[in-house]
Amino acid sequence: MELDHIVHFVQKNTNETVSDWRGQGLPASIGGQHINWGTQNVLLYLKDCYIEWLSVEKQEVAMATEHPLTQLLMHDQVGFGTICLRTKNIVELDHDLQQRGIETTGVLNAERRTEDGELIKWKMLFVKESVSAKLPTPFFIEWLETDEQRYNKLRDKGVVQKMNEVLTIDRCIFGVWNPMETESHWRKILGGSLKMDNCRIEFRKTNETQERLEEVYFTNGTHKLEFEQGFYWLPSL
């Protein structure tokens, strides 16, 4: 299992978000619209994962949907939301989690319409839980294409450039009230290890009123940047 993407909720519009990150020398681009959820996103692709800056496009649609990620966005409004992990067999993963007594939403179909009209589809899986101040459990994704197929299309469109493909994430640090308890829970969900092939997960104690992801470290990150109530450690470019 690998980190697929980091979800960061933002209140800026998509053009502002793209401009801000390109101003940091990082080639972010508009992802598209989730029509059924009333949301839209900006994406920064890295070598083997990406960052998603997710915002509300249509308030009335977002408020009415029962989609877990949109409900978390409506609760939090701004700041790091959660992370998504990539699997090659989401049906098998769903079965395994349920066999271990972990209730899920079942496999959900999802899609996004890009700026150029392409419809991208995938499957998602969430652990069933209420949105609250407690740390959300990661959710899971299975793409309907291989990673190489997806990236070849993104290269052809110019969304993935040479710079994108040298950027990687070293670790994600979560602020929680009881690090040992949370680590035990996540190890159960993730099959025993908090170290994936492309990212490490770390927990530290926080006194904040909400448990969430607090800092994202790029590999060789030395420059700290605050963006929409989230902290990134960026490499020198």
Q: CA angle, corner 169, sides to 93 and 79, nearest 5?
A: 85
Answer for the pair 142, 123: CB distance below 8 angstroms, yes or no. Answer: yes
**132 CB-side CA count, 13 A:** 6
Give the range among 108-117, 156-165, 192-201 with minimum mean pLDDT: 108-117
Q: Is the pLDDT of residue 237 over 80?
A: no
Span 26-42, mean pLDDT?
Answer: 94
Answer for the pair 4, 86: CB distance below 8 angstroms, yes or no. Answer: yes
pLDDT of residue 191: 84
pLDDT grade, residue 113 (50/70/90)? confident
Q: List, for residues 95-110, the tens digit of each pLDDT value.
A: 999 999 999 999 999 9
C-alpha dihedral sign at 136, 192, 198, 235: positive
pLDDT of residue 115: 81
Evaluate if pTM is beyond 0.85.
Answer: yes
CA atoms of 42 and 103, how far apart (whole Å): 31
Q: What are the structural domains, with CATH classification, of the chain?
A: 2-157+165-234 (3.10.180.10)
In the structure, how many helices (H) and strands (E) does the chain have? 6, 14
Answer for the pair 221, 235: CB distance below 8 angstroms, yes or no. Answer: yes
CA atoms of 34 and 39, how far apart (whole Å): 5
Span 10-31, mean pLDDT?
Answer: 96
- DSSP lists the bridge partners of residue 223 as 234
At residue 75, the 3 state secondary structure works out as: helix
